[in-house]
Every structure is written in C-alpha cells, then in structure tokens.
Amino acid sequence: MPDLNDDKPLLEIRQVSRRFGALVAIDNVSFSIRKGEIFGIAGPNGSGKSTLFNVITGIPFPPSEGEVLLSGKPMHRLSPYQISRAGILRTFQKDAEFATLNARENVYASAAYCAQMTSADAKDAAEQALDDVSLAVERRAKAAADLSVFERKQLMIASAIAGRPKVLLLDEPAAGLTKPEISGLSDLIFTVHRRGITVVLIEHVLPLLLNVSERLMILNHGSIIASGSPAEVVRNAEVVEAYLGKREASL
C-alpha cells in the first residue's frame, strides 16, 4: 500500500480559476492531495466539478489563472498529452472508448500512447489491466460498443490504469449503474488504489463516495464550501443547504 505518512502533496491545485467571459466556473480553488489517497469531490449540478478536472488535465482547456503541480512540477503550461504522460489521467462522464475496437485494443492503445510502451509491453499491460478489473476473458475480443454498461466502466478503468497514472481522475463513474453494479464499481476503485494509484473521484452517488473516500471536498458555484473527513463534511450546514436549499435545510 502507498505510504500515507508522506506529507508532501502529490497533486497541488493553487488558486485555480477558469473563466468563460463573465462566467466564473472555477473561482480561486486551492487544495492538495497526498500520494495514495482516495479523494472525493461532490457538489450540486453546475458547481464546477467537471470543469475542475478539465483544467487539471488540460482537456479541453487549461486554467485561466493559477497553478497545477504534480510532485512539485508545473502541469498547467503543458499540453494534454504531456500531462497524461507525466502521470495524470482521467475518465469522462460519457463513453470515450473507441467503439469499433475490441476491449484489448482499447486498453492496448492507452498503454502504448500514455505510457509509451513497446508493442509487446503494451499487450502485456493491457491484459494485466483487464485482469485487474475482472473483465471476463471471453468478453475481451468484443467491440467496445457491444459491451454492457458495467463492462464499459471496467474497460474505462482498465484503459486508464494501463496508462500507468500516478493520479487517476474518475468523473462520475457510477452514472447509469444499478445498485449491485455500484457495489462492483466500489471494488474496482479499491483495486486501482491497491495498485498504488492516487484516486480523485467526482460522484453524485453519495453512498459510493462516502464509502471509498478518505477525504471529501464539496464545491458550489465554483468555490470550495467544505473539505475534510466524509463524516465531518456531510454534517456541514453549508453543504446541507447547497444540496437541499435553505428551507429544507432548516427543517
């Protein structure tokens, strides 16, 4: 398991903002994540969660202001492919696999491109990643478009870990899953964590987020309104108000 006694942050976000004309989507956000953490991010719709992932990875845009550092090295001036090869990879809310390629080919592409492996090493890494997420062997030759929703989640995570990330950003991976499948996703996240990968998770399914997260941060209107242990954060009055509104929060 990763050493959580190392206080040096692996990922640092320093006074990051993202503006679209007069709209401020991310407003002076700062936080840090230690190596080996599972760090959860929640917030109402439109609070800036996915935009935060966008500016961290440069996909499709960098921050308007502020810094993104990985192990102390600036990332915010790099192109997206340089950021991914440095060790920050992400998944997306919508399917982003190559639909006509089979599962093995999808994961192979990630290993070859993001981790810059040789063909032989990329094939081995792809098979190992598919083993790690427990995608059935008989399904690995299927086109991604023919896989089930949960199998595509497995494929998405396998593709990410085959790229050898230091930090993996998961953007609402539970979307579209049933309750039993969400339990399986929780197991997948812990599998990633056991590989020594730091995980940052955006999720609307709060039971999943509370189950896996060691620390939890809440965004609202592009700003951090609470951060701490999940138990502390869910009792925060400002968090309750952001989710339920003033009238319901006072009941």
Give the model confidence (pLDDT) of 222-245 as tens digits. Answer: 999 999 999 999 999 999 998 866
Q: Which residues, 6+ apart, have CB-to-CB distance to 141 below 8 Å?
A: 102, 103, 104
Chain-wide mean pLDDT for the chain? 93
State the greatest distance between any 2 C-alpha atoms of the chain, in Å, as a whole number: 61
Give the angle 43-45-50 at the CA atoms, nearest 5°.
75
d(CA 235, CA 239): 8
Question: pLDDT tens digit string along 86-128?
Answer: 999 999 988 889 999 999 999 999 999 999 999 999 999 999 9
Q: Are the CB atoms for 233 and 226 separated by under 8 Å? A: yes
SS3 162: helix
Question: pLDDT tens digit string along 210-226?
Answer: 999 999 999 999 999 99
SS3 5: coil
Query: Which sign does the torsion angle of CA 95, 91, 82, 100 carry?
Result: negative
User: Which of 79, 70, 160, 151 minimizes the C-alpha distance to 115?
Assistant: 160
d(CA 245, CA 31): 26
Beta strands in 126-242 (DSSP E): 167-171, 198-202, 215-220, 223-228
Question: All domains of the chain, ordered by start, with CATH?
Answer: 36-61+86-249 (3.40.50.300)
